[in-house]
């Protein structure tokens, strides 16, 4: 655990040293704040309701784009600069490396989301708000972020080119974000059900509506673990080569 935390701290420092963290926070708060408060046909004043739904919708799509930009360098840069050799010849396992990097990005996203709590406080002050759905909304965003972070790290683990890692993470994300939802309609029966189950929007919206079903939790946990294990496998394979 100690090794994982050392790697996590190093990665977090890297985000703040390269201004990446500041850019993410400022742009995310700016975009989500604009659509929550000011956009016009979408904001809380327009719909005349004390709700965080506009924020959760915007945050969902914004994080979908931002997360690949945060994960693209995680392992790809280590391959490119040769520091992966430095890292893997230390007494740390491949799993600790992958988990440490995952946690760093997850903590950055969690911190960014924590900075949006003033939105919640201010909306709650102007009208009655469903606190339960806000809580599950944040939970949904954290689970969805964790899933995309693990897929992003996997994309970064199979190439030394950061741009390729970014595009690959985005392409994988598009399947979960959009294509599985569309494709499920084209396949009848069990196959359609399986593809429909893969659709992230379905699970995300279930949670943000305030329904925490074990089916949704298992879905996110499976994607997170699969992404991390695939990254570890890719790291092992790369070692061998």
CA dihedral over 104, 110, 116, 117, signed as positive or negative: negative
Least distance between other proteins and beta carbon 108 (Å) = 18
- Dist CA 42 CA 228 (whole Å): 36
Q: Can you tell me which of 38, 46, 90, 211 binds other proteins, judged by CB under 8 A?
A: 90
Least distance between other proteins and beta carbon 160 (Å) = 12
Q: Is 20 in the site for other proteins (CB under 8 A)?
A: no
In the range 211-230, which residues lie near other proteins by CB under 8 A?
Answer: none
Q: Is 111 in the site for other proteins (CB under 8 A)?
A: no
Q: Is 91 in the site for other proteins (CB under 8 A)?
A: yes
Q: What number of chain residues touch other proteins (CB under 8 A)?
A: 23
For residues 18 and 122, which CB has a smaller minimum distance to other proteins in the complex?
18
Least distance between other proteins and beta carbon 9 (Å) = 9
Give the interface with other proteins as residue ranges (CB under 8 A): 2-3, 6-7, 10, 17-18, 78, 81-93, 239-240
């Amino acid at each position: 655990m100690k090794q994982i935390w050392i790697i996590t701290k190093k990665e977090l420092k890297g985000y703040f040293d390269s201004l990446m963290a500041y850019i993410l926070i400022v742009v995310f708060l700016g975009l989500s704040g604009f659509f929550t408060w000011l956009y016009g046909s979408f904001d809380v004043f327009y719909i005349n309701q004390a709700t965080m739904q506009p924020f959760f919708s915007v945050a969902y799509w914004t994080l979908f784009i931002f997360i690949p930009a945060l994960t693209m360098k995680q392992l790809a840069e280590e391959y490119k600069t040769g520091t992966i050799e430095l890292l893997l010849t230390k007494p740390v396992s491949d799993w600790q490396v992958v988990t440490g990097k995952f946690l760093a990005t997850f903590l950055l996203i969690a911190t960014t989301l924590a900075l949006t709590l003033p939105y919640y406080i201010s909306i709650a002050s102007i009208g009655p708000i469903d606190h339960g759905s806000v809580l599950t909304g944040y939970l949904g965003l954290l689970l969805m972020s964790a899933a995309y972070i693990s897929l992003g790290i996997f994309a970064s683990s199979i190439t030394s080119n950061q741009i390729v890692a970014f595009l690959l993470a985005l392409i994988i994300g598009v399947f979960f974000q959009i294509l599985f939802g569309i494709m499920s309609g084209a396949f009848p029966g069990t196959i359609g059900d399986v593809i429909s189950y893969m659709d992230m929007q379905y699970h995300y919206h279930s949670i943000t509506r305030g329904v925490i079903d074990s089916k949704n939790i298992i879905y996110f946990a499976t994607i997170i673990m699969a992404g991390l294990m695939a990254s570890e496998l890719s790291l092992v394979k790369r070692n061998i080569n």
